[in-house]
Amino acid sequence: MNMILVTVGQHEVLLEKILPIDAKTTYPVCIKGKMNCPPDDCGGIWGYANMLEVIKQPNHEEYEDLMDWLGGEFDPEFFDIEDVNELLKEKDYGCFTFF
């Protein structure tokens, strides 16, 4: 099997296979994923990593404030492929437009 590795910004995308187009499918479509995305304004990758460490420790001094900011709950393992695909059907693919 031929594979192509492409760098997109800071991410590497491995194209393993090109599937035939299915006329009944609305594209783009997510076929696999894992874990929740970082909440907006969490401080980038380093802030998100710190947030994940803090929410594991209910006795941490930042825990209560962070949980309040998160709205009381946050499951980093949560991933709903149906929600993702509903967002991808939107005109802006579920992203906010600021302009």
pLDDT tens sequence across 23-73: 998 888 888 899 988 888 999 889 999 999 999 999 999 999 999 999 999
- Does residue 96 lie in a domain region? no
Cβ atoms within 10 Å of 30's Cβ, excluding its own: 13
- Residue 29 covered by a domain: yes
Asked if residue 95 is part of any domain, the answer here is no
Residue 93 in domain: no
- Closest Cα partner for 48 from 66, 31, 65? 66
Can you give the residue range of the structural domain that contains 28?
4-88
Task: Using DSSP, state whether 7 is helix, strand or coil.
Answer: strand
Whole-model pTM over 0.75 = no
Structural domain includes residue 97: no
CATH number of the domain encompassing residue 62: 3.10.290.30
* Structural domain total, the chain: 1
pLDDT digits (tens, 9 = 90+) for 9-20: 677 778 788 888
